Amino acid sequence: MAGKLLIGYDVECESAGVAENFLTCAGEIHKRLNAPATLFVVGKVLDKYPQAFRKAQQLGIFDFQQHTYSHVNLKPVKIEGELKKAAGKWRISRELKKANGALKRHLGLSAEGLTTPYTHHLGLSDRPDLLKILRKAGVRFVRSFGRDRNDQTNISLDLQPFWYDNQGFPEILEFPVQAWKGEYFKGYDDYLCANLDYIAEHDLVWSFLQHDSSHHMRGNEIKDPQLHTIERLIRYAKDKGIILELYKDYYRRLLNDLDPNETPKAG
Ligand SMILES: [Zn+2]
């Protein structure tokens, strides 16, 4: 029993210095600890700070996927009691294409993964129309299921990745974003370690989400400028024998029907 940790950061903060600082700090830690991670990038932030992303890319430890071009919402969702409307389908399609364009232009990459802003109950299980738009935009794996029926986050770690085959999209894989209940609340580090204990014990995959901005500022206080929390998360996972992997590698092996516990081959 080992478990898998898929670290996926949403990089989306437009404020000066935040995404750049995050990329520098996270890059240093992930490189030093040889810990792969995936950055789900908002296209316009990449357009704004392309140098910082290119530097991160050169480290050879990150994969880059998308988080739409300007952080648009795909499905209606209630956040803190307020209903957030979904963007129109035309706009969603355009957003995915524009984000892909930015990744291509600055990093020479074609994205195949998406985190939908805010995440939703059931992910896109009830929206084959949106899955169709995703497929057309080249999306092959998605993190869109992060809320329960009351639109509350912190869904169970037992909810594991699944294919959208029932919806007619057998090549698209959902990675539910489990156990997300905010970041840097009191006891956050211990909470993360307890989740790692659980996935190791039950041999589960954890699609872990953190944001580029959460460690940075709350009011005037810098929470965790050196990202010590992330360093602790990685070290704790490795000590327990949990394997860290990129979303795209996990996706490929499942697609090819390989044993998910097999070590991925290089290249
Ligand atoms: Zn976001």
What b-and-e string marks burial along 81-95, b requiring 16 or more CB atoms within 10 Å of the CB? eeeeebbeeeebbbb
Distance 240 CA to ligand 1 centre (A): 30
Distance 167 CA to ligand 1 centre (A): 25
In a domain, residue 264? The reply is: no
pLDDT, average across residues 8-24: 94
**Angle at Cα 9 formed by Cα 2 and Cα 238, nearest 5°?**
25
- Per DSSP (E only), the strands in 31-182 are 37-41, 62-66, 77-79, 82-84, 113-121, 141-147, 162-164, 169-174
In a domain, residue 148? The reply is: yes
Among 30, 79, 86, residue whose Cα is nearest residue 56: 30
Residue 215: predicted pLDDT: 86
pLDDT, average across residues 101-121: 97
Give the chain's mean pLDDT.
94
Q: What is the CATH number of the domain that holds 236?
A: 3.20.20.370
Pairing of strands 162-164, 169-174: antiparallel
Q: Is the pLDDT of residue 267 over 50?
A: no
Spell out which residues have Cβ within 5 A of ligand 1, the ion.
10, 12, 117
In a domain, residue 261? The reply is: no
Query: The domain containing residue 58 runs over which residues?
Result: 4-255
Distance 169 CA to ligand 1 centre (A): 24
Residue 223: predicted pLDDT: 82
pLDDT, average across residues 57-76: 98
Only one residue has tokens 């490189």, namely 31
> Confidence band (pLDDT; 50, 70, 90) for 16?
confident
In a domain, residue 262? The reply is: no
Residue 263: predicted pLDDT: 52
In a domain, residue 263? The reply is: no
Q: Is the pLDDT of residue 99 over 50?
A: yes
Q: Is the pLDDT of residue 80 over 60?
A: yes
pLDDT digits (tens, 9 = 90+) for 25-51: 999 999 999 999 999 999 999 999 999
Residue 257: predicted pLDDT: 76
Q: Is the pLDDT of residue 98 over 50?
A: yes
Q: Is the pLDDT of residue 219 over 70?
A: no
In a domain, residue 48? The reply is: yes
Residue 265: predicted pLDDT: 46
Among 234, 217, 235, residue whose Cα is nearest residue 19: 217
106 or 260, which is more confident: 106
How far apart CA 194 and CA 114 sit, in angstroms, is 27
Concatenated DSSP letters of 180-235? ---SS-TTHHHHHHHHHHHHHHHT-EEEEEEESSTTT-BTTB-S-TT-HHHHHHHH
Distance 259 CA to ligand 1 centre (A): 31
> Confidence band (pLDDT; 50, 70, 90) for 120?
very high
Distance 1 CA to ligand 1 centre (A): 32
Residue 266: predicted pLDDT: 42
Domain count, the chain: 1
In a domain, residue 229? The reply is: yes
Q: Is the pLDDT of residue 186 over 60?
A: yes
